[in-house]
Structure 1
Amino acid sequence: MANIFVSGGTGFIGSYLVKRLVAQHHVVHVLSRQAHAADMPQLRWFKGDITSCEAVKRAMEGCEFAYHLAGYARAWHRDRQYYFQVNAEGTRNIMQAAIEAHVKRVCLVSTAGILPPAENGLPVQETMPLRPELHTTYERSKWMGEQIARSYQDQIELVIAYPTKVYGPGPVDESNSATLMMRDYLLGKWHVIPGNGKGTMDYVFVEDVAQGIQLVMNRGRAGEAYLLGGEPASYDRFFDLLRKLSQVHHPLFHLPVPVIYSITGIEWLKAKLGYRPLLTPEWVRKIPYDWIKSSEKARRELGYHARSLEEGMRYTIDWLRSTCV
């Protein structure tokens, strides 16, 4: 049993990780912007967020290990510097507090989105050269956060996890966009397949990611990063599988990328009036690419495994029908 700090412990992935740690009888310190009742002796809540050095230090005191999952992951913010304030400088606060608290090891949860798209159908590995021109502001800020974390490697052990496209039961919002598409399709509100339908993502079930993050912490080599993916699928296959498993057959049509770009123009006008846009150009330009990733390193070194897309999607459909549909 250990004392373990978790930032982002109330988020989509973080909540699953916290449940695992508590079930394993660890004492978990969770930093949260909201107040929570202390309903479990093993779960200790600390009010604050990662932009506050003092809040981070207070929550991390007495901990042996630290998981850093907190971040701003939405597609838009009226102040672009906010991404860097949270995802980059917030990571600096985590690392400095961990060193001061004599934490043994930090696991930084970044994103596979900073890695390049696949070429010639070959899955991307952790060491592939980046394509910064394809990065969103979110991904640029996450990359910067990783560089900040790595600058402390001579003072503390660091391991890094790169989850791919995470889906499953949880908040149905931008952080869980694959599940959001599934929900809206089941409700008859989603009728679009992005682009020509051939663009590919690597979909991974949220429980498998939480397990993988813990494996990275426990078994990962210091200084190494590990991709945590599941199964690649084109947009066409994703929706074909959704139709098959749900037995729901709403009409769907391909929406060309140039048309989607034109929609973002309208969305940006809305943003200037203070409304949150549904789409941004920097996310749209990622649609045509193949974002196939290889989790071979995590499988080989950590014993990581993930369920099939069909199994995870079936579970998610059942959950959506019991809660949201």
Structure 2
Amino acid sequence: MTGIDLVTGGAGFIGRHLVAALQARGRRVRVLDTAPFAEEVTGVEHVRASILDAAAVAEAVAGAERVFHVAGDPSLWARGSGDFDRANRSGAETVIDAAIEAGASRIVLTSTHAIDVKDGASAAAMPGPYTRAKYRAERFALQRIAEGAPIVAVAPTMPLGPGDANLTPPTRMLLEFLQGRNPAFLDFEVNLIDVREAAEGHVLAAERGETGVRYVLGRYNLMLSEMLRIVERLSGRPMPTRTIPYGLAWISAAAMEAAARVTGKPPRASLEGVRLARRLKPVAEAPAAALGLAAWPLEAMLADAIGWLEREGYWRRDG
């Protein structure tokens, strides 16, 4: 039997597919997550605890050969000003230091392609609290790498596919179009990757990645309007064609956030999300290609995501 792989956030979207990819390789898998699995998963040790619980994290990393830190809050909006910092920065620091202390031979940190950690960038330059916390977590990892820690970072773009029980932002965006909730949209360039490919990228980063290197896990660059034309053909639902300018999208998101602070319900669009739409750039294939990551077809990815949302009752083709 091979060594243990710990996956924080293993019950989440990327996490559950990563668990499956590791099990397919015959690895022993331990999951640290506050949430239960959305469906039955056999052969996995499940530690129900938070990444903010230092004692629980230390227990979870004990004996782990490799640690995949996937857990975090991807929602782009939180009611509390410090929520993202706790989930995406403090949690990462706790897991990384515990993994180093436990002697893990490889630590894979899940970051995001939406940030820039090159020299000259700063947390203040990030478009909001989600990216600011992710930036600080990755900078912390770079400090530990300089001290000799075996860390490699992976930065997924916008994962889609089946099994997103938490409705992360890309899946939620797709769902709202399928439900007909967006009569108009801000057109911007997206980069999509199948969640199963993103999970495989995590495994390859652990197996082949170089310490200190950041691997962007992205695949398909296309305009949102192009994606919607494919979604319309696959789903049979008419997609909007009317676009709105950035300024109007910003004002709309600001109004939605103001209402959300009163109701506590997440806004359909956030200011950080709108700012990111303006900042995102096309993704080169080189980082993922360096790992030997094989592509999943674009239409199959979208069809699987659409079909899963339909089977789970989130939308109907006749309504």
Partner of 1:147: 139
Once the two structures are superposed, the pairs formed by residues 193-232 of structure 1 within 5 Å of their partners are 193-194=185-186, 197=187, 199-232=188-221
Cα deviation for residue 270 of structure 1 reads 1.5
Partner amino acid, structure 2, of 1:307: W
Partner of 1:19: 20
Partner of 1:171: 164
Cα deviation for residue 318 of structure 1 reads 2.9
Partner of 1:281: 271
Runs of 4 or more, structure 1, over 6 Å off, are: none
Instruction: Give 3-state SS (helix, strand or coil) of 1:151's partner.
Output: helix
Deviations 1:137-168 (A, max 9, x none): 11110110011122222242111101011111
Change (3 A) 1:271 1:249: closer
> What fraction of aligned residue pairs are identical, expressed as a percent?
26
Once the two structures are superposed, the pairs formed by residues 82-161 of structure 1 within 5 Å of their partners are 82-115=83-116, 130=121, 133-153=125-145, 154-161=147-154
Cα deviation for residue 247 of structure 1 reads 3.0
Cα deviation for residue 23 of structure 1 reads 2.6
Partner amino acid, structure 1, of 2:288: A
Cα deviation for residue 290 of structure 1 reads 4.7
Matched, 1:291 2:292: no
Cα deviation for residue 130 of structure 1 reads 4.3
Q: TM-score, normalization: structure 1?
A: 0.87
Distance 2:236 2:273 in 1: 30
Change (3 A) 1:319 1:103: same
Across the aligned residues of Structure 1 and Structure 2, the Cα RMSD in angstroms comes to: 2.4
Partner of 1:121: none
Which deviates more, 251-260 or 215-224?
251-260
Change (3 A) 1:229 1:250: closer
Partner of 1:120: none
Instruction: Give 3-state SS (helix, strand or coil) of 1:160's partner.
Output: strand
Partner of 2:311: 322
Matched, 1:6 2:16: no
Equivalent in 161, 165, 174 of residue 182 of structure 1:
174
Distance 2:152 2:239 in 1: 44
Change (3 A) 1:102 1:288: closer
Partner of 1:33: 34
Cα deviation for residue 239 of structure 1 reads 0.9
Cα deviation for residue 193 of structure 1 reads 2.3
Count of equivalent residues: 309
Q: TM-score, normalization: structure 2?
A: 0.88
Partner of 1:309: 298
Equivalent in 236, 257, 260 of residue 268 of structure 1:
257
Instruction: Give 3-state SS (helix, strand or coil) of 1:266's partner.
Output: helix
Provide structure 1 residue ranges, at least 5 long, that are not aligned to the other structure.
116-125
Cα deviation for residue 133 of structure 1 reads 3.0
Instruction: Give 3-state SS (helix, strand or coil) of 2:264's partner.
Output: coil
Cα deviation for residue 295 of structure 1 reads 2.7
Distance 1:244 1:265 in 2: 33
Provide structure 2 residue ranges, at least 5 long, that are not aligned to the other structure.
none
Distance 2:85 2:74 in 1: 11
Partner of 1:118: none
Cα deviation for residue 42 of structure 1 reads 3.3
Distance 1:200 1:137 in 2: 22
Change (3 A) 1:60 1:216: same
Cα deviation for residue 82 of structure 1 reads 2.0
The answer as to whether partners of 2:178 and 2:237 remain within 8 angstroms in 1 is yes
Distance 2:247 2:125 in 1: 19
Distance 1:35 1:162 in 2: 25
The answer as to whether partners of 2:225 and 2:241 remain within 8 angstroms in 1 is no
Distance 2:224 2:36 in 1: 39
Deviations 1:259-300 (A, max 9, x none): 22222232233233242333232321233345211131331x
Change (3 A) 1:246 1:63: same
Distance 1:234 1:205 in 2: 17
Change (3 A) 1:311 1:127: farther
Distance 1:316 1:293 in 2: 22
